[in-house]
Each structure stands twice: as C-alpha cells, then as structure tokens.
Chain A
C-alpha cells in the first residue's frame, strides 16, 4: 500500500540534480531558463536541486573532464533507486567540438554511467529538455519501482 502510494506520488514529483562535468555552461543556463516563469518547470512537478542524495533524475551536461572520471560514478551511486540519467547536449553524447586531438575530455558519458535519454543540440532548447525529462522520467521511475517489489 505504502509502496504503491509512493509510486503514484513519485511519478508526478520529480527531483532533478544537475551535474556539469565540464561543458561550456550553455546547457546549464538553459536549465536555469527552464525555472523562469515562461517555462515554469515546477508546474510539471519537477524541482531542480543539485543534491544527488534526493534526486530521481540526474541531468548530465558537459564532456567528462579529467577530474570527473571517478567522481561521476560516485555521484551516480549516491542517487537512490529508481534513478534516471538524462544526457543534455552534444557534449555528453559525443564530446562535441572538444573531442579532438590534444583534448582532456573523456566523452561519451555512457562509458561511465548508464544513460536513459539523450538530447542532442548545442545547446538544446529549454522546451526540448523538459519534454525529454517528462517523456522518460515518470514511466521509468514507475516501472523500476515495481521491479524492485
């Protein structure tokens, strides 16, 4: 009973933790723009709070820089089950312009943690980010919750 009630609540209340692993900051300010009254992220029940211990969704931006190679896995381990990882922008998918000879990035991010949704774009529009979170998060959280039972 309690478990199923938690599932219902969680499917409409999503805590998002944003991790910048070494990008140009463009995707991060598009996530900040999502908080603005025009897009109003909280009307979908999404709350952005950079704390992995209470997050349901991990938004990863940026090509993985040297310092993040081990830290990213530790942050992923801190997120409680069920968890969803959304990669925002071209950097976590391919490394974008940084993934060239002489660089110090270790893209893609799927080498380090499993990725559920990918949003290409440099940077993607705010509406695309919110659409991706909403299309993947409630279903995945509900399905994984049931599996654990």
Chain B
C-alpha cells in the first residue's frame, strides 16, 4: 500500500510529499516529491548586481540564512583575489557559529517533536532563544540578518556586546549537559532512536550525504577544516560518529553545539582590532567557493562580468541529505512513526532544496570551468535573446 504524507501534514515542518510503500505497519520503500517551494532564485539573480544578489542569496533558506551570504560574498572575494580584514573574518566566524548553534537546536527540537517528546522539544526551544538574542545583539535582526557584504561586514561589534554574548552562552552551557544526558541515557528515547534508520558508511558515500548526517555515518568531512580563517587561527575538532542511526545524528548535532561554543570563546578572546570592511573592485571572472553550512557543504558557482552576475548556481546540502535519506535510511523501517522520525532526523530544509539542476546522463562532454552544467548552455541561448 502506498501511504502519502504531505504536502501539508502535522509531521512535516515544510511542504514536501513523502510516499511510503508499506506492508502492514512496515515501511518498505519511500519516494519524495519536491517542487512546492521553488521560487527561481538563480534565475532572478542573473543580470543583477551583487548588491541585489546578496539579499536574494540570504533568502535561499531562512534557517541557515547567514552562511549563504557569507559564501556569496567570499565567492566574489575569490574572483577579486582579495581577503577581507582580519576583524571581519573573525566576526564572520562568530556569527556563523551562532547561526550553527540555533540551527542545530531547532533541528533537534523538531526531531524530539517527531518522537512526541514534549519536554525536550520545549527545552531545546528555550535554549535556542538566548542564542537568537545573541544574534540580534550582534547583527540587529533575528533571522535574515543582512550583515555580510562583499569586502567585510556591515556593523562593528562593541566590547559590551561581546561580553553580553559570553554571558548568554554561559547560560546556555550551564543547562546544556543536563538535556544531552536526558537524551543520551533516556531509556525510551534510546529505544525509539538507536538502530533506527541506519545508514552505513558505503551508503553515505553512494548517497552523497554531507554535514552532520554524513559525519554520523563515519564520513569525517568538514569544510571548516579547509576554510582559511578556521584553518589558520582556530583550534577545533571535527565531531563524527560511526553508528549512522537516528541517535548518532542527533548526538552529532548536540556535540557540534559544544564545539561551536568553544570556537566562539576563542574568537571573542582573540578578536583583532582594525577595519571591518574594505573596498573591493570586482573584475570579470568565474569562481566557486565551498563552506560548511549547519547542514553540510554549500557551494556557490558564480560568473560575473565585473558588474552584473552572469550565471549563478547554488548547491545546497539538504538535497544530498534528503536523497540519501530516501534511498538508504527509509528501507525496511519497522513502523510508519519511525519512518517519519528518520526523515526528521536528517534535518530536511526544503527551502534550500528547491534548486533545479539538470544533469546529462548520456555523458556528453560540455564542461564549463571543470563543472558540467547544462544550465549554462541554455543561458547562452537565452542571453542572445535578452
């Protein structure tokens, strides 16, 4: 029997259609339909200046909106071949980690909501609010911050703000271990999450899982290790696990929050003085840049003629994770409730996912800048018309 769930359903946060192939209560197979949130951002972004494009890139996703602007700005900085001032680099790391904390906490809270564990759901949301306060203190907004520009950041942080952020994070830390213990040693939560929705390392590689979902299956892969600011100045560990079940994914996110708090403390202690922004003249050219979003690796490929964006392609982590979830996690799940919990544990963000990528299955070689992208061909034909 095919059991359709969605696009509007109590179990789902965002519109998507899950088709579960069931026999009795057992879920044999799953299929996912996308397309409910497609807005055509990449198409709108073509032919705009970066000053307009950065606002569009921020609205690719509301939960991890910060990392999109940072990646967008850093792609342009790579085209220009320049680096932003050190204070701006540190402030970017600070906001990125605050954003990661709030994203991981809301992801875990929705997982506990899927397990119908109301206590931890509320506690996670209560923990998240001080972090949102810290973000608001630093940038002036809660969700879409509008804080990054090409060449640095818009506003400077006062010492009093940084002190308040430290105070808020101490408040988060003091309660944090208690909640993690509630999950880690809770017998009922353990029964619902251990050995449910398992994905082995080989399957994670085949399904192209990234971020905490890949790291929970044993893929030790974190783009922060390759980011220049993190690599040179900041001491942190990549959190990873081997089990690959719902428990491992949730614990992986819990542990990464601790790691992020450690990074924020280092940043605030070592924050250099100086400018926060510098003027960058952008030549024509192409560049791609990768960053570690809360959900994994996000890639921006941008081609510009110095003034306008000619072509842009955004690759977000959620599409890979949802695909891996559909193919490898939702096989032979014991119950429908477990299937919904498994889907929630891979932290789906549908607003990110809705990108159109056309792949050539016949292997025709039309490589552009080393990346095979047929959208570019249609763009070339379009640009003749417009």
Contact = CB atoms under 8 A, between A and B. Distances in A.
B308 interface: no
Contacts of B58: 24
B15 A26 contact: no
A68 B17 CA distance: 13
A72 B8 CA distance: 11
Contacts of A65: 35-39
B142 A30 contact: yes
Interface in B36-85: 36-41, 43-44, 46, 55-56, 58-63, 65
Contacts of B14: 20, 25, 28
Interface string A65-100: 111100100010000000000000000000011101
Nearest to B36: A67
Interface residues of A, number: 43
Interface stretch (B121-129, B200-208, B263-271): B121-129
A35 B125 CA distance: 8
Interface string B314-345: 00000000000000000000000000000000
Chain B's interface size range is 35 or more
B153 interface: no
Given A102-B43, A104-B39, A122-B144, A25 B126 contact: no
A102 B144 contact: no
Interface in B207-257: none
Interface in A15-68: 17, 19-30, 32-33, 35-38, 49-52, 62-63, 65-68
Contact of B59 (A24, A33, A51): A24
B125 A36 contact: yes
A35 B113 CA distance: 12
A32 to B, nearest CB: 7
10 contacts: A20-B37, A22-B38, A24-B58, A24-B144, A30-B142, A32-B125, A35-B122, A98-B40, A98-B41, A103-B44
Interface of B: 7-10, 12-15, 35-41, 43-44, 46, 55-56, 58-63, 65, 106, 109-110, 122, 125-126, 128-129, 132, 142-144, 349-351
